[in-house]
Amino acid sequence: MKSLEWEFLGLSLKNNIEYSFLFSIKDNSRATFDVSDEASLNGNDGRELQGDTQITIEPRIRYSISNRVTASFFFRYDATITAGAANPGFSTTQVGLDLRISLAGGR
**pLDDT at 24 exceeding the cut of 70:** yes
- For 96, the 3-state DSSP assignment is strand
More confident residue, 90 or 46: 90
The pairing of strands 90-101 and 4-8 is: unpaired
Arithmetic mean of pLDDT over the chain: 80
Structural domain boundaries in the chain = 4-30+50-101
**Residue 14: band (very low, low, confident or very high) from pLDDT cuts 50, 70, 90:** confident
According to the per-residue pLDDT averaged within each range, which of 1-15, 20-34, 80-94 is highest? Answer: 20-34
Q: Are 69 and 100 in contact (CB under 8 A)?
A: yes
Q: Cβ neighbours of residue 101 under 8 Å, at least 6 residues apart? A: 68, 69
Of 84, 22, 92, nearest to 52 by C-alpha is 84
Beta bridge partners of 2: none
Per-residue pLDDT reduced to its tens digit, 38-89? 665 566 667 777 788 999 999 999 988 767 788 999 999 999 988 865 678 8
pLDDT for residue 44: 63
Separation CA 88–CA 69 (nearest Å):
43
User: What is the share, in percent, of the chain residues with pLDDT greater than 90?
Assistant: 35
- Helix (H), strand (E) at residue 36: none
